[in-house]
Structure formats: structure tokens, C-alpha cells
Chain A
Amino acid sequence: DTGVSQDPRHKITKRGQNVTFRCDPISEHNRLYWYRQTLGQGPEFLTYFQNEAQLEKSRLLSDRFSAERPKGSFSTLEIQRTEQGDSAMYLCASSPPTSGRSEQFFGPGTRLTVL
């Protein structure tokens, strides 16, 4: 399977701990996106990379959140000093150079539970 992969699929942590998630996009997809989905809501945009450049960040991405895509391939999303309100599904998506806004391919998500 060559779809978007995310690791881990589930993460349980205690409040105040740091967590890091990884996303591997579809090969040759130059655009990568992070979304957050809380219970009963649709996904909300967090941030967007084109190659290694982080071009857009949502106001939802507080200073405790940081995302990187150092070589323009995989990306990491780190949350420092986690809070219970950070509990959510974190979704990664990617899109190829040619489709841009026309389709984003989503991974299975990482479900974070903060105790």
C-alpha cells in the first residue's frame, strides 16, 4: 500500500508530557497538510507545507505545537506540555504538484488521548 501513513496510530499520554507524531506522504507528493479532528467535529486545518517550507499555519496551532518537514518528505508534529484539550485525532494529508487544491489524500490518523 502506498497511501499516506501515520505513526503511531494511537497515543496515550499524561498531561504535561511531550508527544511527536510522524506522517509519511505518498511518494512524490510535494504538499503536506496537518488537520485536527475532535469528537463530533469535522477536521480543522492546522498547517501546510510545500516541499520543506511551512507556508501556512492556523491560529489553532498554538506555540506548544510545532511541525517540521526537514527534507520535503516525511513530516513530524510535536505537541509540548500536552493538555487534556489536545485530545483529538490528528490527520495528515498530501497532494501532488499537479492536483493542488483538487484533492488531498488522507492518512488513517493518530488518535491522541491526554489523561
Chain B
Amino acid sequence: AQSVTQLDSQVPVFEEAPVELRCNYSSSVSVYLFWYVQYPNQGLQLLLKYLSGSTLVKGINGFEAEFNKSQTSFHLRKPSVHISDTAEYFCAVSAAYSGAGSYQLTFGKGTKLSVIP
């Protein structure tokens, strides 16, 4: 089984400042990693994903994340945030093998990013 810990439940940041949202995971098998964004009263939209290869992953809206296997982390970063980035962000993991349970996404509790004008 996998688990995900998002270390900050809320992150306030001023507009045009950089931001990092932290995510740590636990798993006994290799994993795929994801960041999703959820705007109020909407479903989840995929920001970026790590499946294999380069540990630095670039996504939509200027976000990027770095997979660190030794620290079991997958932190999300953006060098300059905008008001429109205000939303809740979820880190998720799935098992990187074929078999029972491998299609389930396990999510963290989310981090609410508030961008202050």
C-alpha cells in the first residue's frame, strides 16, 4: 500500500513570489507520482506526472516538480505565482506495476494555496 503526506495544509504567498508545496510518499514498491489542482466546486485537473526518466518534471501553468527517490519526495514549485493559482493542490501516487491495486490513486490531504495581491 502507498501513502502520501502533504506537509502544509495551507500556504499563503504574495503574488509574483515563488512557492513550494511539499509532498512525501511511502511505498514498498516503485511508484508513479502526480500533482492535481482543484478549483472551487470543480473536479481535479492534472498538473504534471512522473512516470520514469528525468527527475525534473515540467507541467502546465508554469509548475514543475522534482522526484527525489532517496528522500521519497515530490515537491511542487513555481517561480512566480499569479492570483489565478489560488486553488487546492493534491499530490497522488500509484503503484508502478501491473496487478491488483495498481490503478488506484492514493491522494494526500491537499494544500490550499492562497495568492495574496
Contacts and interface: CB of A to CB of B under 8 A. Distances in A.
Interface of A: 4, 31, 33, 35, 40-45, 48, 55-56, 58, 91, 93, 95, 100-109, 111
A91 B43 contact: yes
A45 B44 contact: no
B43 to A, nearest CB: 4
Kindly state the interface size class of chain B when it binds its partner: 20 to 34
Nearest to A40: B109
B106 interface: yes
Interface of B: 4, 32, 34, 36, 41-46, 49, 51, 90, 92, 94-96, 100-110
A100 B103 contact: yes
A20 to B, nearest CB: 19
26 contacts: A4-B43, A31-B103, A33-B104, A40-B110, A41-B110, A42-B90, A42-B92, A42-B107, A42-B110, A43-B90, A45-B105, A45-B106, A48-B103, A55-B103, A56-B100, A93-B44, A101-B95, A102-B32, A102-B49, A103-B34, A103-B46, A104-B46, A106-B36, A106-B43, A106-B45, A109-B43
